Structure 1
């Protein structure tokens, strides 16, 4: 037999799925809902928290709980330099880029295989759908590879990804690590997501033909809207197919 918390979540979930509660609609106050379902406020909040984790409900500080509008899916293509091309080209999705000079320390020095305090260029990329933050990426490149123009002028996201493909010697290997974790407080605040919502965290290293790491990227994609796709191409010996 389901708990009261689960029963409340199931009822609200059904009301959202059938359109009785519409996207963007504000839910009744928590005290009203608690009275309606004849439960304590903590039990009611626990049910709402389950729906928040599922991405069906969002809590806006000082305003209440709202049915979440459908979110654009994010597809990360393994081995690629951007999120899916359609999303990048979609005018509804805009990306802001902030460029900063920093020093390699700790994890970054290890990722880029450079001595501690080596100068790096950081591209902080944050995408928005309307006013809503969508996903974020931090891209790091050794300063001797980053042009002075990239630091002096605002560079669109497409410009960053195009510039990275033109490095000399060109990149020849991409290594990616994918994990699931809870967001840091800074990530949750930047992306306007619940600290209880898991994120897809991707760490990417790109090396050139000499083995030098020319780029490291840390991407954070909210788990309620992200997919990662990896395609493997096999080389088939023609002699084997003839046999």
Structure 2
């Protein structure tokens, strides 16, 4: 749109001028206005609420912290990690959970080192914040390990599936994290209600026991317009200390 600049002066939830007002203001065609509005919607800046019009999208991203998975936290008996953390921020979290026994996707079977024909228990979750679907978290476990456990129930596990695995004798001592960024597949678009042009980040974690046995694969799908991925790192000086050299100040 000739001369149009997105200055950020409109507040979240503010209504944009009508198509007719935009045509008059910028002296452009109706087609140009519609293409410009579609571009703003594709970028996640504007939402359409017909017949009221177009509005500035209110954006309050979720901070996703993969390194926090194995930290001990004082979760309540009624709420799991996700619910506890975001309720404390004054938001309204909820989850939809489905559990099924399935043949594992090829990439899951490879990571879990399963034999042909082995089945997995799949816990599929869509996580919501303030009524909006924010991300997908699908976890896969070798069925032989979890068949009669709480992992098979389609409900929140307050202490977490990782703790259930530990109680079954499969405590995860090491995790391999993988991050991918791409456009979503149709299933993800449907489950998350994604608008056109919204990329996703995919965090895949494979949990291993101390003996190196893979016991869980979890894939979290993070829409790019709703998340900030935050990793925290700390330099280790143990090797230098053992050799008698002090770490730099």
State the TM bucket, normalised to the shorter chain: 0.7 to 0.9
Aligned to 1:136: 136
Q: What is the aligned length?
A: 232
| CA-based RMSD | 3.0
| CA distance, structure 1, for counterparts of residue 143 and residue 185 of structure 2 | 27
- State TM-score, norm by structure 1: 0.79
- Residue 65 of structure 2: aligned partner: 76
Deviations 1:72-102 (A, max 9, x none): 3222233625769733755611222221111
The 3-state SS of whatever aligns with 1:240 is coil
Counterpart of 2:16 (choices 27, 47, 59) is 27
Unaligned ranges ≥5, structure 2: 71-80
Q: In structure 2, the residue corresponding to 1:44 is in which secondary structure?
A: helix
Map Cα deviations across residues 89-125 of structure 1 (whole Å, 9 max, x no partner): 5561122222111112422211221123311111111
Deviation at 1:154, TM superposition (A): 3.3
Equivalent pair of 2:150/2:164 in contact (CA under 8 Å): no
- Structure having the higher helix fraction is 1
Report matched runs for 1:1-243 at 5 Å. Answer: 4=2, 7-8=3-4, 10=5, 13-14=6-7, 17-19=8-10, 22-30=11-19, 33-59=22-48, 64-78=53-67, 80=69, 86-87=85-86, 90=89, 92-150=92-150, 153-156=153-156, 158=158, 159-224=160-225, 225-236=227-238, 237-238=240-241, 239-241=244-246
Q: Contact conserved, 2:83 with 2:93, CA < 8 A, in 1?
A: no
Assess, with a 3 A threshold, how the Cα gap between structure 1 residues 190 and 242 changes in structure 2: closer, same or farther. closer
How has the CA–CA distance of structure 1 residues 203 and 53 changed in structure 2, closer, same or farther, with 3 Å as cutoff?
Answer: same
User: 1:105/1:178 Cα in 2 relative to 1: closer, same or farther (>3 Å)?
Assistant: closer
Give the unaligned 5+ runs of structure 1: none
Shift in alpha-carbon separation, 1:162–1:126, aligned structure 2, 3 A:
farther
Shift of residue 233 of structure 1?
Answer: 4.2
Contact 2:150/2:157 (<8 A) preserved: no
